[in-house]
Amino acid sequence: MGRVLAVTGGSRGIGFGIAKRFAEDGYQVAILDINAEADYRFNLNILDEMGADWFYLQGDTRIREDREQFVSEIVARFGRIDVLVNNAGVAPKVRTDVLDMTEESFDYVVGTNLKGTMFMTQIVAKQMLRQEWTGVKRGTIVNIGSASATVSSSNRCEYCVSKAGVMMLTSVYAERLAAEGIMVHEIRPGVIDTDMTKVVHEKYTRLIAEGQFPIARWGTPEDVASVVSVVCDDRYIYTTGNYIDVDGGFHIRKL
Ligand SMILES: NC(=O)c1ccc[n+]([C@@H]2O[C@H](COP(=O)([O-])OP(=O)(O)OC[C@H]3O[C@@H](n4cnc5c(N)ncnc54)[C@H](O)[C@@H]3O)[C@@H](O)[C@H]2O)c1
């Protein structure tokens, strides 16, 4: 039986990289993204060219009805969900000193990155609990966190706080769902070359050149997607609630 991936924020960037990777792995793919399907059609065409079995729903992870519609459409089309990747995320629209951070920006970033992930996980976990085990587990949930879960940036506090929350919700769901055969993991990208990092491209390129990242290059969506694929493999089984840094070694403290 084919396996089914549900990925949020899959029209571009890391999320699209994950959709493509899992299509290559033989999964049926369901994408939920706030963008219209036509906006990043040039990416989605690649799935067609691969002969992938996929569908796209335009929707917002912050909105309950959209989450419910996503899950019910996946079940109607594919019958089950084997993997959920909570990837949809936003940076603050404007980087602002924490002392001037607005409540609107906090609600926008935390609402997307933390609340969206929290409640998408809840509804998909309940769906997985209605499903039979396939092989060694019932399902895998992967949260795309960030190095910012533990690295402070005082000009985008709301982002750091949202990703710190993702770290804890990974632990809570991992603990709750382990006995049910559902494993929950967190992937922490460092600096990945996507639309999100366009505004800081020059700064990060300089930091890479200055040696901040032991693997001295930008990360790619494929770098992240490959690791997500690995943790969903049946051989990755006696572990849950962990995180993996996909950051070129940025997390290593050095003297
Ligand atoms: N790029 C990096 O350096 C980096 C580093 C660490 C973590 N991350 C995380 O990786 C994830 C993907 O980021 P990216 O770099 O590919 O960014 P991106 O902006 O290119 O892609 C994010 C996608 O999420 C979608 N999205 C945003 N809000 C949504 C919502 N409410 N509902 C549904 N879809 C929504 C966007 O439309 C977009 O397609 C994010 O969670 C981000 O925080 C990125």
Read off the pLDDT of residues 220-232 as tens digits, 9 standing for 90 and up: 999 999 999 999 9
CA 71/CA 125 separation, integer angstroms: 11
Q: What is the pLDDT of residues 62-106, one digit of tens each?
A: 999 999 999 999 999 999 999 999 999 999 999 999 999 999 999
Cα(109) to centroid of ligand 1, in Å?
11
Please state which of the ranges 85-94, 133-142, 155-164, 179-188 shows the lowest mean pLDDT: 133-142
Residue 209 exposed, middle or buried by CB count within 10 Å (0-12, 13-18, 19+): exposed
Do 7 and 20 meet the contact criterion of CB atoms below 8 Å apart? no
Instruction: Using the predicted structure, report yes or no on whether residue 16 has a pLDDT greater than 90.
Output: yes
Of 56, 159, 173, 243, catalytic: 159
User: What share of the chain has pLDDT > 90, as a percent?
Assistant: 98
Instruction: Using the predicted structure, report yes or no on whether residue 1 has a pLDDT greater than 80.
Output: no
CB distance 140 to ligand 1 below 6 Å: no
Atom 1 of ligand 1: nearest residue by CA position:
192
Instruction: Using the predicted structure, report yes or no on whether residue 2 has a pLDDT greater than 90.
Output: no
Atom of ligand 1 nearest to the CA of 163: 43
Looking at residue 33, its amino acid is D
User: What share of the chain has pLDDT > 70, as a percent?
Assistant: 100
Whether 159 is a known active-site residue: answer: yes
pLDDT band of residue 135 (cuts 50, 70, 90) is confident
Q: Tell me phi and psi for residue 47, to 5 degrees.
A: -65, -40
CB distance 58 to ligand 1 below 6 Å: no
CB distance 248 to ligand 1 below 6 Å: no
CB distance 117 to ligand 1 below 6 Å: no
Average pLDDT, the chain: 97
CA 100/CA 223 separation, integer angstroms: 35
CA 18/CA 28 separation, integer angstroms: 12
Question: What is the pLDDT, as a whole number, of residue 201?
Answer: 96
Cα(217) to centroid of ligand 1, in Å?
20
What domains sit in the chain, N to C, each tagged with a CATH number? Answer: 4-246 (3.40.50.720)
CB distance 43 to ligand 1 below 6 Å: no
Do 203 and 95 meet the contact criterion of CB atoms below 8 Å apart? no
Cα(88) to centroid of ligand 1, in Å?
5
Average pLDDT over residues 209-224: 97
Average pLDDT over residues 187-216: 97
Instruction: Using the predicted structure, report yes or no on whether residue 118 has a pLDDT greater than 70.
Output: yes
H-type alpha helices, the chain: 13-24, 41-49, 64-78, 103-110, 117-129, 157-177, 201-209, 221-231
CB distance 44 to ligand 1 below 6 Å: no
